[in-house]
Amino acid sequence: MKKLLLLLPVVLVLLSTSTALASGKPERVFAPIPQPLVVSGSCSFDIDVAVVKNNEYFINFYDANGNLVRQLVGGSLVVTLTNLSNHHSITVNVSGPAYATFNADGSYVQKYEGLSAIFLPNLFILTSGRVDVEYFPDADPVILRMSGSQRDVCTLIA
C-alpha cells in the first residue's frame, strides 16, 4: 500500500498538469538547472555554473491548444561561477525574476528583471535592472533593451 500512496501524488500531479494544458490554465513547476553546466564562448575561458541554492519555479501559461505562450520564473537562485582555467570563482544571487514570451516561429523574448546572469556569444554579464533578449532557434540572440547596471563576469573571474 505504501507504493500506492507514493504513486497517488504523482498521478494527481499528472492529472492536474494535463487539465491545466487542456484548459489553458497556468501551471507552476520547479525550474531545474542542469548540472553540470559549463558555458563556453561567452568569455575567453569556459565557466562552470554550479547551483548553490535553487528554489525557483516556472509559471507556465498555455493557449487553448496547449501551446506554451508565456512563462514566468521566480523564486531564489544562487550560483557559483568558476573560471575553469584558473578556478577563480564568485557566488552570486541571480534570482531574477524573468518573463518569457514565446512566438509561433520558435523565437522567444526573455525579459530579465532584478538580478540576473545572462550569457550570450562573447558576453557574460551580471545585471541588475531590466534587460530584454530575443532568442532564435537558428540565430544568435539579440539584446533588445538594457537598463540598470551590468557587471562583466569575464573580468570578475579572470
Partner 1 sequence: MRRFALAICIALGLLAFPVTAAAKAPTMLHYTQNPPDLTLSGVCAFDITIHSTAQTTEIDYFDGSGILTRIYFHSTEQDRFTGTGGSLTTLPYTYNLELRFDSSGEFTGFVVSGVILNLRLPDGSLFLSAGRINVLAHPGISFAFVPDLGHSGNLAAFCAALA
Which range touches partner 1 (CB under 8 A), out of 15-23, 50-58, 94-102, 140-148? Answer: 140-148
Task: Tell whether residue 38 is a contact of partner 1 (CB under 8 A).
Answer: no
CB of 147 to partner 1, least distance (A): 7
Backbone angles phi, psi at 27, to 5 degrees: -130, 150
The C-alpha cell that represents 111 in the structure block: 525579459
Burial class of 51 by CB neighbour count within 10 A (0 to 12, 13 to 18, 19+)? middle
Closer residue to partner 1, CB minimum distance, 91 or 122: 122
Task: Tell whether residue 152 is a contact of partner 1 (CB under 8 A).
Answer: yes
Closer residue to partner 1, CB minimum distance, 64 or 139: 139
Q: Which residues lie below 8 Å from residue 63, measured CB to CB, with a gap of 6+?
A: 24, 69
- Distance, C-alpha 17 to centroid of its chain: 21
Site for partner 1, rule CB under 8 A: 120-123, 125, 134, 136, 139-147, 150, 152, 154-155, 158
